[in-house]
């Protein structure tokens, strides 16, 4: 017990050095995971990576601007179809990259049209965009190619795992860069007061489009990577509406606007979902909904707020003990 408290105190005091060490340890652990983890766990981790990417990239735009986009499924699905088109011809990595770029391009176009809309109107439009993408793709497939779904040439689980890991790392690095950049500052100002932001020289539409586009790039990459795991895809699978809502749910669930908090929220969320699906397959949705409602009622700031409050308590408690011991 005494050691634990000492450790907690040390974590606080040593701050950045220890954080760096912890991150390095985590990086080594994740990089070497395929060497000793069973395939099932790798698949679980890749899946988790997908949720982390969707959530953090969603927060990258929505967290600072307050624009609730429900178009995540569109960008993810575009990535999926990039894999359909280019996985065989150009290889897995190029297809993943193109998936991201194509999604980014579509987001830029969509943003230029819709980011003049505010609040609920923007959300409604992005929601409609998912349906549009699904229907248009289904019609195109049936009309021009006479088919419903497609087969994507698979790659190994290890490759998928590493691709997802690289994507997560790139996303976190991008986050850090954006926060320090003019773009990040512009996005935050827009979230605070869009009109005032325009009056201090921020080209609001351009900044919003750039942020929206950047977040879509990562969603597209994630889609292209996951498509090679599913091997069979059709419009319903690619543009799965659930993928639009999950990032929002995780963001509300975690309550964090920062990537580490959101990622941790995603881990808890997916673990909880996994637990409920496997143990209580028939009541899973009901219980899941109850948990969400409970979080919103009892910790409106999200579970991360709750966790950090507990952590604070542990710290003050351990400090108090130490002060008592010193007397």
Partner 1 sequence: MTMAFLEGREIIKRFGGLVALAGVSFTVEEGEVVGIIGPNGAGKTTLFNVVTGAVRADHGQLWFRGRPLLGLGPDEIYRRGIARTFQTVRVFRGMTVFENVLAGAWFGPESGRTRGEAERRAWWALEMVGLKDLAGAVAGDLQIVYQKRVELARALAGKPRVLLLDELMAGLTAREVEEAVVFLRRLQGEGLTVVLIEHVLRAVMRACDRVLVLHQGRKIAEGRPEEVVRHPEVVEAYLGSGAST
Binding site for partner 1 (CB under 8 A): 180, 182, 185-186, 188-189, 192-193, 195-204
Residue 19 Cβ vs partner 1, minimum distance, rounded to whole Å: 22
Output 71 or 202, the one with its CB closest to partner 1.
202
Residue 203 Cβ vs partner 1, minimum distance, rounded to whole Å: 5
| Whether the Cβ atoms of residue 260 and residue 304 lie closer than 8 Å to each other | no
Residue of 314, 180, 192, 110 whose CA lies nearest to 306: 314
How many angstroms separate the CA atoms of 35 and 39, rounded? 10
| Whether the Cβ atoms of residue 49 and residue 163 lie closer than 8 Å to each other | no
How many angstroms separate the CA atoms of 269 and 264, rounded? 8
Output 174 or 204, the one with its CB closest to partner 1.
204
Q: Which residue has the tokens 């994630």?
A: 222
The pair of structure tokens assigned to 254 is 């975690």
| Whether the Cβ atoms of residue 77 and residue 133 lie closer than 8 Å to each other | yes
Residue 308 Cβ vs partner 1, minimum distance, rounded to whole Å: 18
Residue 110 Cβ vs partner 1, minimum distance, rounded to whole Å: 21
Output 186 or 247, the one with its CB closest to partner 1.
186
How many angstroms separate the CA atoms of 50 and 225, rounded? 9
Output 186 or 235, the one with its CB closest to partner 1.
186
Output 34 or 211, the one with its CB closest to partner 1.
211
Residue 64 Cβ vs partner 1, minimum distance, rounded to whole Å: 10
Q: Which one-letter DSSP state was computed for residue 117?
A: S
Residue 160 Cβ vs partner 1, minimum distance, rounded to whole Å: 38
Is 151 in a helix, a strand, or coil?
A: strand
Q: Which residue has the tokens 């019609």?
A: 139
Output 72 or 256, the one with its CB closest to partner 1.
256
Residue of 80, 59, 77, 56 whose CA lies nearest to 69: 59
Residue 66 Cβ vs partner 1, minimum distance, rounded to whole Å: 11
How many angstroms separate the CA atoms of 80 and 100, rounded? 10
The C-alpha R_g of the chain, in whole angstroms, comes to 21
How many angstroms separate the CA atoms of 170 and 232, rounded? 27
Output 194 or 274, the one with its CB closest to partner 1.
194
CA atoms in the 13 A half-sphere facing the CB of 68: 13
Residue 207 Cβ vs partner 1, minimum distance, rounded to whole Å: 9
Residues 175-209, buried b or exposed e (16+ Cβ, 10 A)? beebbeeebbbbbebbbeebeebeeeebebeebbb
Residue 179 Cβ vs partner 1, minimum distance, rounded to whole Å: 11
Is 256 in a helix, a strand, or coil?
A: coil
Output 192 or 312, the one with its CB closest to partner 1.
192
Output 99 or 255, the one with its CB closest to partner 1.
255
Cβ neighbours, 10 Å, residue 121: 11
């Amino acid at each position: 017990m005494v050691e634990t408290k000492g450790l907690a105190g040390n974590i606080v005091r040593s701050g950045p050095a220890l954080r760096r060490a912890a991150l390095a340890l985590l990086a080594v652990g994740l990089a070497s995971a395929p060497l000793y983890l069973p395939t099932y766990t790798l698949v679980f981790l890749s899946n988790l990576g997908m949720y982390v990417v969707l959530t953090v990239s969603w927060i990258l735009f929505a967290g600072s601007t307050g624009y609730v986009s429900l178009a995540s499924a569109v960008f993810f699905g575009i990535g999926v179809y990039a894999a359909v088109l280019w996985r065989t011809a150009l290889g897995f990595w190029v297809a993943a990259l193109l998936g991201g770029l194509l999604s980014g391009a579509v987001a830029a176009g969509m943003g230029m049209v819709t980011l003049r809309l505010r609040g609920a109107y923007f959300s409604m439009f992005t929601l409609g965009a998912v349906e549009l993408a699904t229907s248009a793709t289904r019609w195109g497939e049936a009309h021009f190619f006479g088919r419903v779904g497609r087969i994507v040439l698979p790659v190994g689980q290890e490759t998928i795992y590493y691709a997802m890991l690289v994507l997560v790392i790139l996303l976190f690095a991008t986050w850090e860069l954006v926060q320090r950049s003019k773009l990040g500052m512009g996005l935050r100002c827009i979230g605070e007061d869009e009109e005032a932001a325009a009056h201090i020289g921020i080209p609001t539409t351009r900044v919003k489009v750039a942020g929206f586009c950047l977040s879509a790039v990562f969603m597209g990459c994630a889609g292209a990577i996951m498509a090679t795991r599913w091997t069979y895809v059709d419009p319903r699978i690619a543009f799965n509406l659930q993928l639009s809502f999950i990032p929002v749910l995780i963001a509300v669930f975690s309550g964090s606007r920062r990537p580490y908090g959101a990622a941790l929220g995603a881990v808890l969320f997916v673990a909880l979902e996994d637990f409920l699906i496997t143990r209580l397959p028939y009541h899973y949705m009901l219980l899941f909904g109850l948990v969400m409602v409970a979080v919103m009622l009892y910790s409106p700031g999200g579970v991360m707020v709750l966790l950090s409050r507990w952590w604070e308590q542990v710290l003050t408690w351990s400090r108090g003990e130490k002060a008592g011991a010193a007397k």
